[in-house]
Amino acid sequence: MRPNKHMQYALDLASKAKDEPGTLPYAAVVVLEDNIIGEGINQAPRLFDPTSHGEVEAIKDACRRLQTTDLSGAIIYTTAEPCSMCVSTMILTNISKLVYAADWQDSTDFMATMAADQPSLKRRYNVVQLREQVALPPEKRDMLVERMGAKEAISIFKAFANSRK
């Protein structure tokens, strides 16, 4: 299927990344009522920020512009199938629809090629493996986990809630 104007805009943003140092060719736009309300590109290498994915940047831009964290009714157009972090951000902001271009395998292949020249881009998991890790209870993930301070944290939560009544 040919890209519509919003996907084409996201693709154009991703294409520009090849000329911008410290970016990767992943981009997204958030659209509400046929208007672009947020846009973003992957700036993780430039910002030394692993959360700077195109989707997260576009969502943050939309939230700032609208002064809300509720993007109900919005559609996100992204140049690649999003990772678990990006999907979680979409869910947390109530985005209604996801439209993507390249799939997880296309992105995995691209990143593997890039990692050959730039070891900092090497990833432990592809998108599917990341989804599997995120879905596991903390103690079953590959990452070591320890829990402490629960009583104190819960006390802070309760004090905060009580101060807002």
Copy the structure tokens of residue 90.
């979409």
| Burial track 80-118 (b if 16+ CB lie within 10 A, e otherwise) | bbbbbebbebbeebebeebbbbbebeebbebbeebeeee
Active site residue 33: no
Who contacts 148 (Cβ-Cβ below 8 Å, separation ≥6)?
Answer: none
CA of residue 7 relative to chain centroid, distance: 16
Q: Which of 20, 33, 39, 55 is catalytic?
A: 55
Q: Could you give the residue numbers annotated as active site? A: 55
